[in-house]
Structure 1
Amino acid sequence: MPEIGYDVPEPTTDCDDDNCPFHGTLSPRGTVLEGRVATDSMDKTVVVEREHDVKVPKYDRYMRRRSRTPAHSPPCVDAEEGDTVRIAECRPLSKTKQFVVIEVVEDEE
């Protein structure tokens, strides 16, 4: 099995997806982000939502912003709505998809 270059466990199930970093030819590289899956209603695509704080100098306070990133979800990585996932940058897969899900992060709860 090919090593993808990140310290993530390899999925136990196989898949026949060409755009899978574990079982296909897609090579993730670059930025790694972590966020919550906002929706998984599309086929092999999830939308990952990340929240961050932005300082507003006029009021000397922070404002909460969020960014939504579409990511490819291979069949062997079972990412569902509400899961915390780790996504890695890859080559453009479509007009908006430039990330792939590499791991579902286990929460400490």
Structure 2
Amino acid sequence: MSKQTKPAEAPAAEKVVKTVTGKVVSIKMQKTITVVVERYEPHPRYGKYIRRTTRLLAHDENSESREGDVVAIEECRPLSRRKNFRLVRIITRADRTAGAATP
């Protein structure tokens, strides 16, 4: 009987992490934010560019983002049923005076 050897395994390729940018629209959950990501894609028949939106749930460990912030989120392991992204950084802060009512 000859001894079977496994071929030398190549080093694992680095996993490409998907990073997207979007606007925070809801902070009503604990440690979770809702981010709207917009993209423009051509219509299949007419070619006109259409705005498409996707709502993603992202993990915000320290609850540091606010509604209206522009944030970068990256894909990670599933944290719950719908939450597969985590907050990387806040790109632009929302203007606090825009939502305030004047007496």
TM-score strictly above 0.5: yes
Q: Find the structure with the greater CA-based Rg.
A: 2
1:32 aligned to which of 19, 28, 50? 19
**In structure 1, what is the Cα distance between the partners aligned to 2:45 and 2:81?**
37
- Measured in 1, the distance between the counterparts of 2:31 and 2:72 equals 16
Identity within the alignment, % = 36
Kindly indicate whether residue 83 of structure 2 is the aligned counterpart of residue 97 of structure 1.
yes
State the partner residue of 2:34: 47
CA distance in 2, matches of 1:32, 1:55: 22
Gaps of 5+ in 1: 1-28
1:69 aligns with 2:56: yes
Return the TM-score normalized by structure 1.
0.65
> What's the RMSD between the two structures over aligned residues?
1.9
Separation in structure 1 between the aligned mates of residue 19 and residue 47 of structure 2, nearest angstrom = 31
CA distance in 2, matches of 1:57, 1:100: 32
Structure-2 separation of matches of 1:58 and 1:99: 33
Between Structure 1 and Structure 2, how many residues are aligned?
79
Report the residue type matching 1:98 in the other structure: N
